[in-house]
Structure 1
Amino acid sequence: MQTAQSKSLTMLRWMMVASLALPVALFLIAAHVSYGTTSEEADREIRRSLDVVHEHALKVFETIDRSLSEIDEIVRDLSDTDIRTRGQALHARLRQLADSLPQMKSAWVFDANGRPLVNSMIYPAPDMTFADRDYFSAHVKDSIGTFIGAPLTPRSPYQGAAFFGISRRRQSDDGSFTGIIQASILPDYFEHFYARIGRAPGSYFALRRFDGLILARFPAAVQGGTASTPGDIPAGAADTEQLVTETSPVDGVERRVGYQRLSGYPIYVSTGLETATIRNRWLSTISRHLIFGVPATVLLIIFLALARRRTEHLYVEAARRLEAEDALKHSQRMEALGQLTGGVAHDFNNLLTVIRASADLLRRPNLPDERRQRYIDAISDTVARASKLTSQLLAFARRQALKPEVFDIGRSVATLRDMTRTLVGSRIEVVTSVPDEPCYVNADAGQFETALINMAVNARDAMAGQGLLNIAVAPVAELPTPVAPHDRPPLGYVAVAVRDTGVGIPPEQVGRIFEPFFTTKTIGQGTGLGLSQVFGFAKQSGGEIGVLSEPGRGATFTLYLPRIAGVSGQTHADPQPSVPIGGDGMSVLVVEDNIAVGRSATEALAELGYRTTLVDNANDALEELISGMTRFDVVFTDVVMPGMTGLEFAEEIRRLELNVPVVLASGYSHVLAQQGTHGFELLRKPYSIEELSRVLRRVVPVPLYRAPSVVHGSEVH
């Protein structure tokens, strides 16, 4: 007690230390997560802005392109002389075009020497050359399409804001150079647009050529002009959607920047946010965490201080409660174990009494054949009853090896209708209701029929042999108790409801009705294993069993099984008569670690004409098969054996491709109960010689090999 209290107090002291360390750790984690979230939100904001400026720039350049095409169409068939002759009219038309576009400062037509023929600003155009401008010189040697020039300042006598030129080559029919068409674009137009959309602190926008030359920028780095920084577009970022963190050589500010190319133009647009702005957003978010975190930490320390004072009292109370719970659980376990042990002992002692008495009577001399046969039949029937008892116990424990098959529950219930009426008696009216549509399940058909009969017998006893028994089959979507979505079968369930008009079940007994050997019947009227078999079968088949009852108004037991899609042509095989089938020299390798059981099996098979070899372990049996000295038609092996189990032995035969069919035998195996038979034939113990011979004949219709016969009592391998 004192050691436990000391540990608790020590733990609380560490918790008080942790009450400071944990908030700090949580704050650091929250800060890290918040920084990532803030950065992701900033990246999304940059990408949204990038889409806006890209769409805007693309429309502007497409508009300028159409304007240049319009000017080219106007002067295409005119010589320089014709253009000068019509100069005033062309000037007016170019002026109208430039005035309609806020981004365009002026429009020009130049001759082959760089002299203006006509423009939108002054008429007549002054006699001067612009051959040194990049928008002219770029077209002299070759046709390069649309050219976008560097930012320039107006040349006297022209005045106004800075501009950059967009130009096209003029050429004659033979391809010779005759001049250019040029539009002067205002960077201020872009910068004003960027200023309108860049209201967030730290916003950044730029329009650049492929060589990195800045055409327009916000915020402006130099008053009265635009800074040019060729080659500052980061490699790998310009042609992808990724964002980069860079420090601008123009103003030395670190920013998070994204780039996007204008399709069809040697232009990039870029947007970004200052990293200081992103950091300030993150710090603002973290400060809000602190507003809640500091008071929570203080409250946690106060709470732990109070908890430390109460620890000793709570420890004592918890220890007392734990002792009481352990005592109660132990009592319940002992009661259940005593009831189960007593029930099993009672029933098996009764069965053993019959077997012992019949065996003693068979030893009497000069016993008539009729009485000898009656005693033999009594032993056989008692063994069958003992087998049924163990099967019911395994069903409740969900440890029986089932043989699932696809069958229609409605058809099965209809088939059992007459048997049920005979079973419950003529004074009980049996009404069955099955749907028109088939309700297929994948379960053990024999166990289902046993479960249905057990429920019918239970209803008969509740009605004291007189009343109404209603058996209804219906598809349902859900179980009465909710299950996880991944555990719910796609087609729902099939519900088999057995409703009686008996005395009902008292509320205090509803929780115990599925316990083995629990019964309210008088001695000799029931074992208390019927409903436990139904319960175990339902659970092991993936279903459920529900009960609704009210004293004096009957009870309804509903068995739920998972519904599946039907298999065409699914039929039940007709039961075969219990007549042993001769061996015709079939060679059988019997593997059984219990020599008495093995000898009885080999001797019985030998009586039917089978040739047998008995081996007491799987390893030796495998050597017999691999050696090839003796060829066998079939292997009959027990499942539960020391070392290699029968199932592992069968899997090894399959892996080695020895082409020998295998029949398994088991009274109980948790491996079979959980994993199934892996496709091998299974014979449940205790089995009759008739059942064994029929299973062997089913897996090997015609013997393939002939091994030397084994004389009874020969040495076991």
Structure 2
Amino acid sequence: MIEFIDGPCGPLSDYVHIAANAAYTQQAGIPNAVGLRVREMVPEEADSWIARFRPVLETGRQIRFEQEFAATGNLFELSAFRVEPAQNRQVAVLFKNITNRRASERELEARVASALSERRVLADVVEGTAAFVQVADRDLRWLAINHAAADEFERIFGTRPRIGLSMLDLLADKPDHRAAVEAVWSRALAGEAFTEVAEFGDPTLARRWYEMRFGVLRDEGGEISGAYQFVYDVTERLSEQERLRDAEEALRQAQKMEAVGQLTGGLAHDFNNLLAGISGAFEMIALRLSQGRQADVEKYLTAGLGATRRAAALTHRLLAFSRRQTLSPKPILINRLLPDLVELVRRTVGPGIAVETVGADDLSATMVDANQLENALLNLCINARDAMPDGGRLTIETTNVTVDSQVAATLGMLPGDYVKVSVSDTGTGIDKETLERVFDPFFTTKPMGEGTGLGLSMVYGFAKQSHGHVRIHSQVGNGTSVSLYLPQHGGDAPLDVTVGRPAPARATGVTTVLVVDDEQMVRMIVVDALTDLGYSVLEAADGAAGLRLLETTPHVDLLITDVGLPGGLNGRQVADAARAQRPDLKVMFITGYAENAALNHGHVEPGMEILTKPFSVDDLAGRVDRMLRG
């Protein structure tokens, strides 16, 4: 507490300390303050202190101010009030140390300033970005929108958005556009963070494609309070991608035509040779019969039939390469195919090559066409033989494998469980440059006339059509291994697997077969062959006639129909209509690759089988016998 005293210093005069507690001495750093005048304590600031206290003494109004004490560096909040009665001319001054509080306030102010600066930077970035940024509450009212988004919205919808307005209200006169906008925002407001590409805009103004990235806003309690989006105009990018796709398609078409040229050249060469053999054989047969020299006919028949079989094999390889052959997949255990196959391979490769098999004991079943699998493996074994002119070892191995997603991506196949069948040799191997072309059609390293170049391409096509894959490993001088990956089948495989050409058998009892084929020559051969075997045979040239025969004939055991029939009904439709009348009727389809789609790409129902053109009479007879005997 201080008391006003008069003195020679003018109207301000001075104050003298008449009381001070210990806390004041400690905090202000001024010992023995009692009895000291203000001018003695703070000579440079005395006038300002005295001027502050004089109104308090004269008016009795309390004042507050802050002052830092140099002695301690502490900051104080001072409260001064008059001590009554006024004639005592005394003023009490309370000191409150606010040094720490002010430091905290200044730190908070600095943080707030920094945060505001960051917000300004972020706002500048959002405002200056090329992205269209929008933030909306649960009622689809804008909480924030940058200038670019507002301009774009106005450009494509003809109305300008503002913070606080509702998207739905702004698009009330455009119900279709309003529904489209609401549909994407409602997903985000339901809690979904997603990216979507869609087209928006009024066609009379502008319609563009946008990539929209939505996020979810949540309050402090974790509840959804709104959503936000970052949007990019991708119209030009999509157009460029479309142009790129068109260019790639044009390139693929050019490559395809180049491949077709190569294909037709090789095909013409091989087929001309085969046709020359077939036509020459028929001419010589006709000449010898006209001369009465029947003894020479048999060798020409043998030559003609051999050329026909080679032509059929060539077309099968072409169709396998193009994945257009008609397959009859059934669940089989490949290990059960190996004994007969190995005997055939041993006879084919000769005594100089040791043939061995390594079959997994727990091998799973696989869904595959057994005949085509045998053909594929035989092709691989023949290639292995040719790679070992001085002899060697040929190994056929089966095993179960699981291909994970990472390996599958590397191999270009689907992940899953497979049965792997490998054919390995100890031959000359294949160099890297050749290895890259081994699956190309008509590519062969054999001398002219010794190979068609379709063997490995056929194997590749067969594997792909069977939903599998094929890989080849080779090293010059250390042999080659080709592996077929075929999907495992979850069910059981039958105990017996019949592969190869079934033997013909004569019919027992009265068995009726209905043959439907528009090709008169094919129909004649099928009818005559089955009649010779003792079957009762009906024939029709189209589907409608065949169904009429079926309706008027009391008992028919088997329907044999071409798939590619003329008129309104194809073979599959004839079979479906026939089975609607007679559910237990067995059906054999005769088909070429062009009708594969009508057969659901080779997938047929129980009691149905497929015989692929061209076929031998023995194949036909054996298949009919097996179907009728169940």
Looking at structure 1, the residues matched to 218 and 248 of structure 2 have their Cα atoms a distance apart, in angstroms, of 54
Q: Counterparts in 2 of 1:41-440, with a 5 A limit?
A: 329=252, 331-364=254-287, 365-440=290-365
Cα 1:694/1:549, change in 2 over 3 Å? closer
* Residues 659/510 of structure 1: CA separation in 2 closer, same or farther (3 Å cut): same
* Alignment correspondent of 2:603: 676
Q: Distance in 2 between matches of 1:31 and 1:654?
A: 53
Tell me if the contact between 1:410 and 1:439 (Cα under 8 Å) persists in the aligned partners: no
Q: Is 1:638 matched up with 2:562?
A: yes
What residue identity is the alignment partner of 2:526? A
Aligned to 2:514: 589
Q: Aligned partners of 1:499 and 1:520: how far apart in 2?
A: 19
Secondary structure, aligned partner of 1:527: coil
Within 1, Cα distance between the matches of 2:533 and 2:415? 50
Q: Distance in 2 between matches of 1:609 and 1:31?
A: 75
Corresponding residue for residue 686 of structure 1: 614
Tell whether the 8 Å contact from 2:331 to 2:493 is kept in structure 1 after alignment: no
- Pairs within 5 Å for 1:639-658: 639-642=563-566, 643-657=568-582
Aligned residue type for 2:565: M
Q: What's 2:474 paired with?
A: 549
Which residue identity is paired with 2:438?
I
- Aligned pair count reads 432
- The separation in 2 between residues aligned to 1:34 and 1:606, in whole angstroms, is 73
The answer as to 2:624 corresponding to 1:696 is: yes
Identity among equivalent pairs (%): 34
Give deviations 1:308-332, integer Å, cap 9, x for gaps.
Answer: 9xxxxx99xx99x999977754553
Q: Any idea what the Cα deviations from partners look like across 1:415-469, whole Å, max 9, x if unmatched?
A: 4333323322333333432222233212111111111111111122223343333
- String of CA shifts for 1:58-90, please: whole Å, max 9, x gaps: xxxxxxxxxxxxxxxxxxxxxxxxxxxxxxxxx
For the pair 1:477 / 2:608, whether they are aligned, the reply is no
Kept in 1: contact 2:365–2:491 (CA 8 A):
yes
Q: 1:678 to 1:550 in 2, by over 3 A?
A: same
SS across alignment from 1:674: coil
What is the CA RMSD across the aligned residues, in angstroms? 4.4
- When structure 1 is superposed on structure 2, of 433-442 and 17-26 the one drifting more is 17-26
Residue aligned with 1:621, SS:
helix
Q: CA distance change for structure 1 residues 539 and 593 in 2, over 3 Å: closer, same or farther? A: same
Q: Residues 472 and 580 from structure 1, CA distance in 2 versus in 1: closer, same or farther, beyond 3 angstroms?
A: closer
Q: 1:659 to 1:338 in 2, by over 3 A?
A: same
Q: What SS is found at the alignment partner of 1:515?
A: coil
Q: For 1:25 and 1:431, how far apart are their aligned partners in 2?
A: 79
Query: Would you say the 8 A contact 1:586–1:610 is kept in 2?
Result: yes
Q: Deviations over 1:361-411 (max 9, x none)?
A: 111234544421222222222222222111111111112221222222234
Q: In 2, Cα distance between the equivalents of 1:26 and 1:356?
A: 86
Is 1:520 matched up with 2:445? yes
Q: Distance in 2 between matches of 1:34 and 1:454?
A: 58
- Name which of structure 1's ranges 345-354 and 658-667 shifts more when overlaid on structure 2: 658-667
C-alpha displacement of 1:484? 12
Classify the secondary structure of the residue corresponding to 2:394.
Answer: strand
**Structure 1 residues 22 and 452 mapped into 2: Cα distance closer, same or farther (>3 Å)?**
farther
1:684 partner amino acid: T
User: Which amino acid in the other structure matches residue 632 of structure 1?
Assistant: V
1:617 shift after superposition: 0.9
1:641 and 1:477 map into 2 onto residues whose CA distance is: 43
Contact 2:363 2:398 in 1 (8 A): no
Say if 2:599 is the partner of 1:468. Answer: no
- 8 Å contact 2:332–2:493 — kept in the other structure? no
CA contact (8 A) 1:401 1:673 kept: no
Letter in 2 for 1:475: N
Deviation string, structure 1 residues 590-633 (Cα, Å, up to 9, x no partner): 2111123223332333344433332111112112222x256434
Q: Residues 22 and 535 from structure 1, CA distance in 2 versus in 1: closer, same or farther, beyond 3 angstroms? A: farther
Cα deviation code 1:172-210 (max 9, x no counterpart): xxxxxxxxxxxxxxxxxxxxxxxxxxxxxxxxxxxxxxx
Are the aligned partners of 1:581 and 1:694 in contact in 2 as well (CA < 8 Å)? no
Paired AA for residue 256 in structure 2: R
1:20: which partner in 2?
A: 151
2:187, 2:553 → 1: CA distance?
A: 72
Q: Which amino acid aligns with 1:345?
A: A
The one-letter amino acid paired with 2:619 is E
The one-letter code matched in structure 2 to 1:354 is G
Q: Which deviates more from structure 2 when the two are superposed, residues 574-583 or residues 682-691? A: 574-583
Where does residue 545 of structure 2 map in the other structure? 620
Distance (whole Å) between structure 2 residues aligned to residue 639 and residue 448 of structure 1: 24
Contact 2:371 2:499 in 1 (8 A): no
Q: Deviations over 1:73-124 (max 9, x none)?
A: xxxxxxxxxxxxxxxxxxxxxxxxxxxxxxxxxxxxxxxxxxxxxxxxxxxx
Question: CA 1:41 to 1:555, structure 2 compared with 1: closer, same or farther past 3 Å?
Answer: same
Indicate the residue corresponding to 1:458 in structure 2.
Answer: 383
Is the CA contact 1:400–1:673 (under 8 Å) kept in the aligned structure 2? no
Deviation at 1:583, TM superposition (A): 7.1
Inter-partner Cα distance in structure 2 for 1:444 and 1:40:
57
Task: Give the 3 Å change call, closer, same or farther, for CA 410–483 of structure 1 in structure 2.
Answer: farther
Paired with 1:536 and 1:431, the residues of 2 have a C-alpha distance of 26
Contact 2:285 2:300 in 1 (8 A): yes
Q: Deviations over 1:210-241 (max 9, x none)?
A: xxxxxxxxxxxxxxxxxxxxxxxxxxxxxxxx
Taking structure 1 as reference, are residues 616 and 504 closer, same or farther at Cα in structure 2, changes over 3 Å only? same
> Following the alignment from structure 1 to structure 2, what is the Cα–Cα distance between the partners of residues 612 and 382?
30
Could you tell me which amino acid in structure 2 is paired with residue 355 of structure 1?
Answer: I
Spell out, residue by residue over 1:271-303, the C-alpha distance to the aligned partner (whole angstroms, 9 max, x if none): xxxxxxx97xx6xx87xx8xxx7xx99xx9xx9
The alpha carbon displacement at 1:353 in A equals 1.2
Compared with structure 1, are the counterparts of its residues 544 and 613 closer, same or farther at alpha carbon in structure 2 (3 Å cutoff)?
A: same
CA shift in 2, pair 1:693/1:25, >3 Å = farther
Q: SS at the partner of 1:347?
A: helix
**Distance in 1 between residues matched to 2:149 and 2:402, nearest whole Å:** 50
> In 1, Cα distance between the equivalents of 2:523 and 2:542?
11
Unaligned stretches of 5+ residues in structure 1: 1-11, 47-277, 309-313, 703-717
Q: TM-score w.r.t. structure 1 length? A: 0.52
Please give the residue correspondences for 1:556-567 in structure 2 after superposition, counting only pairs within 5 Å: 556-565=481-490, 567=492
Whether the aligned pair in 1 keeps the contact of 2:420 and 2:483 (CA below 8 Å) is yes
Measured in 1, the distance between the counterparts of 2:585 and 2:380 equals 42
Q: Does the CA-based 8 Å contact 2:408-2:414 persist in structure 1?
A: no
* Change in 2 beyond 3 A, CA 1:645/1:555: same
Q: Is the 8 A contact 1:581 1:690 kept in 2?
A: no
For 1:640-670, what per-residue CA distance to the aligned partner results, in whole angstroms no more than 9, with x for missing partners? 1122111111111112336533222123322
* Cα deviation code 1:232-254 (max 9, x no counterpart): xxxxxxxxxxxxxxxxxxxxxxx
For 1:654 and 1:323, locate their aligned partners in 2 and report how far apart those are by CA, in whole Å: 46
TM-score, normalisation: structure 2 = 0.59
The 3-state SS of whatever aligns with 2:442 is coil
